[in-house]
């Protein structure tokens, strides 16, 4: 075929065939696919919207045929999935620890944390995973207490739903454990790390300060004199300030910077009478405490006032030499209050204060109903501190002995944790390096300057113990007896 005939044939085709608006390049195939579709009956459909409608209609029809429902499937099948918002909360609670092996969770034995976590799980405030591993809920206690030690104002922090009711938790707790209040805190709040001071109380019979009392009747009738009360406060005042307490704990060397602790105040808070026996409440406030520190401070105070040793031994205990200090029983020790002064000052405009003033009435009622009666009963029926004085204190030697090291004698108790131990107790425990200890010491020394200035403001009525004695004695006879 000649070239002329081919051109004529091409012109005829162009004139007779419909003109198509084709796009050039790679877009040509995509445009054709978008504008043309084929149905199940092999019919050409030029409207893509109609094709999409048929597709969605087919999907809905399939769901109706298979499920009989247009709802989307959920993880639980019947129940729709609901995400519960959890925020960091601070919880104030009190407990009588006589029947428990301390605050911290310990597998195989009853603890306060175990009871609390069980109640939270039953109330559906934490999940099963949180119960098995409380670190999932960022659970943290402000201070751990040992076997038999109670707390009036323990604070724990953890993540919980925004809608939390303390009544739901208390209904699942035993009577000796009570939640007083729950408050929203910052997301990075840690009840242990944000605490800048702790206050402990130690309740004991006043006869322990008088060495001439032998019989039970004489001890029960004894009433402390203003002169003896002044003597006790004088000895307790020696502990105030920053000192090295390496002799008041276990396995601490005098060169260890972490043995340096700052005590803000220490004195007799009140005296009361219950069941015809007089008791005194010693109150100590400090930045932090070590294992057995408070019980040894009380033990040495009793020994000095009774005349078993002198003030020289007390002064020597803060020095480099090793001094064996008697450890008072743990029955009267109570975590009284946890202080968050710096946190409250920083977030006073955005978050509630952690002074818990609205819960104070409930706290006091719990102390008089569940804590003080147990301590009094332990002294009246068990003669706890009386037996300690008659069997251990009068035979105690303050010179170190190589035959029976104190650390070995109390090794099991140390492994379980301390009644007044505020050291880092997260699991797994991290070994404290020299650099860490130096940082803690530097921070403690820096804070001592600030806290020492506020010490007098926090205790403006120092020396008014006698008036407190009369007022509390009348109240205690009426309310506790």
How would you write the pLDDT of the chain (481 residues) with one tens digit per residue? 577 777 787 788 777 766 655 555 555 555 555 554 444 455 554 554 444 444 444 444 444 444 444 444 444 555 554 567 899 999 999 999 999 999 999 999 999 999 999 999 999 999 999 999 999 999 999 998 888 899 999 999 999 999 999 999 999 999 999 999 999 999 999 999 999 999 999 999 999 999 999 899 999 999 999 999 999 999 999 999 999 999 999 889 999 999 999 999 999 999 999 999 999 999 999 999 998 999 999 999 999 999 999 999 999 999 999 999 999 999 999 999 999 999 999 999 999 999 999 999 999 999 999 999 999 999 999 999 999 999 999 999 999 875 544 433 344 444 444 445 555 443 333 333 334 444 444 444 444 434 444 444 444 333 333 333 333 333 333 333 3
Pairwise CA distance, residues 3 & 88, whole Å: 88
Domains for the chain: give ranges and CATH numbers. 86-184 (3.30.70.580), 199-340+349-426+448-479 (3.30.70.660)
Pairwise CA distance, residues 453 & 233, whole Å: 21
Closest CA to 263 of 435, 447, 468: 447
Pairwise CA distance, residues 170 & 157, whole Å: 17
Q: Which two tokens stand for residue 26?
A: 């790679």
Angle made by CA atoms 257, 261, 262, in degrees to the nearest 5: 140
Residues in the chain: 481
Residue 227 gets which letter from DSSP? Answer: H
Q: What is the CA radius of gyration of the chain?
A: 36
Strand partners, 87: 160
Which residues are tagged catalytic? 146
Pairwise CA distance, residues 364 & 384, whole Å: 24
């Amino acid at each position: 075929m000649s070239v002329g005939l081919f051109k004529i044939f091409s012109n005829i085709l162009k004139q007779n065939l419909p003109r198509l608006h084709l796009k050039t390049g790679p877009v040509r195939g995509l445009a054709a696919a978008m504008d043309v579709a084929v149905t199940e009956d092999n019919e050409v459909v030029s409207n893509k919207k109609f094709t999409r409608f048929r597709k969605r209609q087919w999907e809905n029809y399939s769901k109706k045929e298979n499920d009989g429902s247009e709802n989307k499937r959920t993880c639980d099948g019947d129940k729709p999935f609901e995400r519960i918002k959890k925020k960091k909360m601070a919880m104030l609670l009190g407990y009588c620890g006589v029947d428990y092996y301390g605050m911290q969770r310990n597998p195989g034995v009853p603890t306060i944390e175990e009871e609390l976590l069980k109640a939270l799980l039953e109330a559906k405030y934490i999940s099963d995973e949180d119960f098995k591993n409380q670190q999932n809920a960022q659970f943290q206690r402000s201070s751990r207490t040992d076997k038999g030690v109670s707390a009036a104002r323990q604070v724990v922090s953890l993540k919980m739903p925004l809608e939390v009711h303390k009544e739901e938790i208390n209904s699942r707790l035993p009577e000796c454990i009570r939640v007083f209040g729950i408050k929203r805190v910052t997301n990075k709040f840690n009840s242990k790390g944000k605490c800048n001071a702790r206050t402990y109380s130690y309740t004991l019979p006043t006869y322990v300060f008088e060495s001439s009392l032998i019989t039970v009747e004489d001890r029960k009738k004894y009433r402390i004199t203003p002169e003896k009360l002044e003597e006790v406060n004088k000895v307790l005042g020696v502990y105030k300030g920053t000192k090295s307490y390496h002799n008041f704990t276990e396995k601490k060397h005098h060169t260890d910077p972490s043995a340096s602790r700052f005590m803000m105040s220490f004195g007799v808070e009140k005296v009361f009478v219950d069941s015809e026996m007089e008791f005194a409440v010693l109150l100590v406030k400090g930045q932090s405490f070590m294992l057995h520190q408070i019980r040894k401070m009380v033990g040495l105070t009793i020994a000095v006032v009774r005349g078993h040793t002198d003030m020289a031994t007390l002064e020597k205990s803060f020095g480099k030499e090793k001094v064996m200090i008697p450890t008072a029983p743990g029955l009267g020790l109570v975590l009284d209050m946890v202080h968050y002064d710096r946190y409250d000052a920083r977030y006073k405009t955005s978050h509630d204060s952690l002074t818990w003033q609205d819960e104070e009435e409930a706290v006091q009622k719990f102390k008089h109903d569940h804590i003080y009666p147990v301590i009094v009963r332990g002294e009246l029926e068990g003669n706890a501190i009386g037996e300690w004085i008659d069997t251990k204190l009068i035979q105690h030697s303050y010179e170190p002995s190589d035959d029976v090291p104190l650390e070995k004698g109390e090794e099991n108790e140390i492994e379980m944790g301390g009644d007044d131990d505020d050291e880092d107790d997260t699991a797994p425990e991290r070994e404290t390096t020299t650099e860490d200890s130096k940082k803690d010491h530097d921070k403690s020394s820096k804070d001592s300057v600030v806290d020492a200035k506020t010490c007098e403001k926090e205790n403006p009525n120092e020396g008014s113990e006698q008036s407190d004695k009369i007022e509390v004695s009348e109240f205690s006879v009426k309310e506790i007896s």
